[in-house]
Amino acid sequence: MSFVTSEEMMRKADREGYAIGAFNVENMEMVMAVIRACEEAHAPAILQTTPSTVKYAGLDMYHANVACAAKKASVPIALHLDHGNSFELAMQALHVGYSSIMIDGSKLVLEENIALSKRVADACRACNIPVEAELGKVGGKEDDMSCDDPGYTDPDDAVRFVNETSVTSLAVAIGTAHGIYKGEPKLDVERLSQIRKVVSIPLVLHGASGVPDDAVRECIRRGISKVNFATELRIAFSDGIKEYLKGDPDVFDPKKYCAAGSERVTALVKEKLEVCGCVGKA
Ligand code: 13P
């Protein structure tokens, strides 16, 4: 089927009390592996690419790849620009055919974040494409983006932000971080509940790799409708390949070792879909 928008998926998830899994993909093998997992689990999903990923191969390449796989898939798939870092990149993704856009102005001061997010939301609304923005700063490092100075989302700011920007979903900072955690993350779930009480659009949890399953479930119970997983997928794909090469160092057919990486990704995504509660929701 052709792409659906992330808004359709998330609004249903929000109503029914589960979350959509959003999975970062880097290459054709990961695209196929994630979609295979979703089909086996009868789950809808969002596939997403960061600015450094699209720098690697181009928005048009990822769009063509995911669109082709989604067309053949038996479950709804959305293609999302993750952490769009400029108005220009957001517009390029919109133009190429992404069905969901994130603009990340979280490093800006509140007024500038509002202005940038509103500008993107206004442009995307004309094409019926939903926009996720971020308020507060999710810590850690993802690709070439890093944040050493995380800041939690303030519920009052969130109300103002949503009213003034008209974005369709909001990524909140409640203690998660991108990348690998040193210890167990301490999440401010009370803050999440406070935000949920005053903001009616779907809420997004970033930095879910390494967050214990029960903590992710608790966040969903308190109002998260989209959960982002990137680092764990990259590790799974790489570990599968490394292990295959160790067992057969003379292999020269990429299909063989990439299949080993893909199998790991499919198994991991199925686990994450289960945690999100979206198995059987397609
Ligand atoms: P992780 O790399 O921690 O899974 O974070 C993913 C993410 O939030 C992508 O935006």
Question: Are 79 and 3 contacting, i.e. CB atoms less than 8 angstroms apart?
Answer: yes
- Judge whether 117 lies within some domain: yes
Residues 83 and 228 sit within 8 Å (Cβ to Cβ) = no
How many domains would you assign to the chain?
1
For residue 205, what is the domain's CATH number? Answer: 3.20.20.70
Q: 229 CB less than 6 Å from ligand 1?
A: yes
Helix, strand or coil for residue 30? helix
To the nearest 10°, report the CA torsion of 273, 67, 89, 83: 0
Q: Is residue 190 in some structural domain?
A: yes
Distance in Å, CA 133 to ligand 1 centroid: 15
pTM, whole model, 2 decimals?
0.96
Q: Known catalytic residue: 157?
A: no
Instruction: Identify the domain containing residue 78 by its residue range.
Output: 7-276
- Name the residue of 224, 231, 265 to mutate for ligand 1: max ligand atoms within 8 A of Cβ: 231
Q: pLDDT 10s digit of each residue in the chain, 282 long?
A: 889 999 989 999 999 999 999 999 999 999 999 999 999 999 999 999 999 999 999 999 999 999 999 999 999 999 999 999 999 999 999 999 999 999 999 999 999 999 999 999 999 999 999 999 999 988 777 666 666 667 899 999 999 999 999 999 999 999 998 888 888 889 999 999 999 999 999 999 999 999 999 999 999 999 999 999 999 999 999 999 999 999 999 999 999 999 999 999 999 999 999 999 999 999
